[in-house]
Amino acid sequence: MKKRKTSSDSKVLVRYDHLHTVARNHHRKPPITQYVEPFFIRPLPPPEDPDQQVIELNEIVDAFHHNVWWTGVVINVVGDKYYVEFKNPPDILELVRSQIRLHWNWVQGTWNRPQKHQKTTRSSLFNPGEAIEVNLENELPCIVWSLAIFLGEVRPYKFLVQSKNSKIEGEGFHKISVKLHQIRPHPPLAEVKFDVFEKVDAFDGLGWWVGVIT
What's the pLDDT tens digit per position in 94-153?
A: 999 999 999 999 999 999 999 988 876 556 788 898 999 999 887 788 889 999 999 988
Amino acid at site 56: E
**How many angstroms separate the CA atoms of 61 and 63, rounded?**
6
**Any idea how long the chain is?**
214
Q: The whole model's pTM is what?
A: 0.71
Q: On the CB side of 17, how many CA atoms lie within 13 Å of its CA?
A: 4
**How many angstroms separate the CA atoms of 203 and 210, rounded?**
9
| pLDDT tens, position by position, 33-63 | 889 998 889 999 998 877 777 899 999 999 9
CB within 8 A of 64, min separation 6: which ones?
A: 99, 100, 101
Is residue 173 within 8 Å of 186, Cβ to Cβ?
Answer: no
Phi, psi of 143 (to 5 degrees): -105, -15
Domains of the chain: 1-41 (no CATH), 43-119 (2.30.30.140), 131-212 (no CATH)
